[in-house]
């Protein structure tokens, strides 16, 4: 075969695309380990055996690379949602989506599919990427919400939104725990999850009558010596809103109306404060669980009271729990 300008251009384009995909793969892995802010050109270059100058040939700035990773991940999630939406009824559509997601994770685990990034860190991106990708996610979510029967009332619409959130969050968090199982067990775990979504885990005649549990937070053995309590509260709000990497020391200090120097007077590093936020959140969850175990009623009453108490803390209290999405960006040390 004689090479022509057209075939040469095609080969060049193919090589460009292949290398670009490898860069996106590496960036996705790093975002999953360290978050958007923790992903660097240096680390990406090391994973693909290139220098940082070569990376900038494909993506001029790190944020462009991070946005491209998130865009590709959303495209793949959207493809799963679209395929699952062909089911004839809600039960079949939901089961299809769960099975397709498990199949994708199995392919990724066996290196038969490209990695997919956790999209929870979209909020750590600057504008316009944050708004553009968030809008794209909302569109995917709305498509997923159509898995359920069309709502006839506002209450039914709200319930559909809640159900869609439960479904999508369980699928998004799948990579965080599925690696504890052999890929040979994925089908069994998938079938069990589908069963839970179809039938739940409470008895058919179980009602929803939770009691808000009272806990004594003064019993928590947490706190950094000399650190004011409002530091953890301000950091929790900011991290929940912008992610671990998105909440800088400057922003936390500004929220507290103190100087950056005053912040470091109480703490050696931001990581110390974030770990303190985690300790407080997990400590409060543990107190709720223990209070539920001591409360009257059957196991469903204990579970529903625990959920109601934690939801009340998260949505209505002055000090919410720290979202676990911040875990992915914490340093491994």
pLDDT surpasses 60 at 4: no
For residue 55, what pLDDT band results from cuts at 50, 70 and 90?
A: very high
What would the two tokens of residue 19 be? 């290398």
Give 105 or 329, the one with higher predicted confidence.
105
Residue 118: band (very low, low, confident or very high) from pLDDT cuts 50, 70, 90: confident
The confidence score (pLDDT) of residue 106 equals: 95
Mean pLDDT throughout 302-309?
A: 94
pLDDT tier at 134, thresholds 50, 70, 90: very high
pLDDT tens-place string over residues 72-88 = 999 999 999 999 999 99
pLDDT over threshold 50, residue 96: yes
Highest averaged pLDDT of the listed ranges 225-234, 254-263, 270-279: 270-279
Most confident of 14-18, 44-48, 263-267: 44-48
Other CB atoms within 10 A of residue 158 CB: 11
CATH superfamily of the 13-199 domain: Tetracycline Repressor, domain 2 (1.10.357.10)
Confidence of residue 221 (pLDDT cuts 50, 70, 90): low
Query: Which residues have a Cβ under 8 Å from the Cβ of 179 and sit 6 or more positions away?
Result: 109
pLDDT value of residue 331: 55
- Homologous superfamily of 217-329: Tetracycline Repressor, domain 2 (1.10.357.10)
pLDDT in tens, 258-271: 766 766 666 666 67
Give the Cα separation of 114 and 104 in Å (integer). Answer: 9
CA dihedral 135, 137, 141, 142 (to 10 degrees): 30
Q: Is the pLDDT of residue 1 over 50?
A: no
Nearest to 163 by CA among 90, 104, 105: 90
On the question of pLDDT at 9 being above 70, the answer is no
Does a cis peptide bond (omega within 30 degrees of 0) precede residue 147?
no
Q: Are 278 and 322 in contact (CB under 8 A)?
A: yes
In order, the DSSP letters of 246-267 are TS-HHHHHHHHT--HHHHHHH-
Percent share of the chain, pLDDT over 90: 52
- 297 versus 81: which is more confidently predicted? 81
Q: Which residue has the higher pLDDT, 23 or 240?
A: 23
Cα(168)–Cα(188) distance, rounded to whole angstroms? Answer: 20
Q: Where in the chain is the domain with CATH 1.10.357.10?
A: 13-199, 217-329
């Amino acid at each position: 075969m004689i090479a022509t300008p057209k075939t040469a251009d095609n080969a060049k384009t193919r090589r460009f695309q292949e290398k670009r995909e490898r860069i996106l793969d590496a960036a996705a892995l790093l975002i999953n380990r360290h978050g958007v802010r923790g992903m660097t050109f240096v680390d990406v270059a090391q994973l693909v055996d290139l220098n940082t100058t070569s990376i900038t040939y494909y993506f001029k700035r790190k944020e462009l690379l991070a946005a491209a990773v998130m865009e590709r991940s959303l495209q793949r999630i959207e493809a799963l949602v679209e395929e699952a939406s062909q089911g004839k009824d809600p039960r079949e559509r939901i089961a299809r989506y769960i099975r397709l997601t498990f199949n994708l994770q199995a392919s990724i685990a066996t290196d038969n599919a490209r990695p997919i990034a956790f999209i929870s860190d979209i909020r750590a991106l600057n504008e316009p990427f944050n708004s553009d990708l968030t809008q794209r996610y909302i569109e995917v979510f709305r498509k997923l919400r159509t898995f359920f029967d069309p709502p006839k009332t506002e209450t039914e619409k709200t319930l559909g939104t809640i159900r869609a959130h439960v479904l999508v969050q369980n699928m998004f968090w799948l990579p965080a725990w599925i690696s504890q199982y052999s890929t040979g067990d994925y089908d069994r775990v998938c079938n069990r999850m589908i069963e839970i979504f179809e039938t739940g885990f409470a008895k058919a005649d179980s009602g929803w009558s939770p009691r808000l549990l009272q806990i004594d937070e003064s019993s928590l053995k947490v706190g950094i010596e000399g650190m004011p309590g409002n530091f953890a509260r301000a950091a929790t709000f900011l991290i929940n809103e912008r992610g671990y990497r998105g909440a800088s020391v400057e922003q936390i200090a500004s929220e507290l109306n103190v100087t950056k120097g005053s912040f470091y007077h109480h703490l050696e590093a931001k990581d110390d404060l974030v770990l303190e936020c985690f300790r407080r959140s997990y400590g409060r969850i543990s107190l709720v669980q223990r209070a539920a175990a001591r409360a009257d009623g059957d196991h469903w009453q204990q579970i529903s009271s625990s959920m109601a108490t934690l939801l009340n803390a998260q949505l209505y209290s002055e000090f919410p729990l720290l979202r676990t999405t911040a875990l992915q960006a914490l340093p491994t040390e």
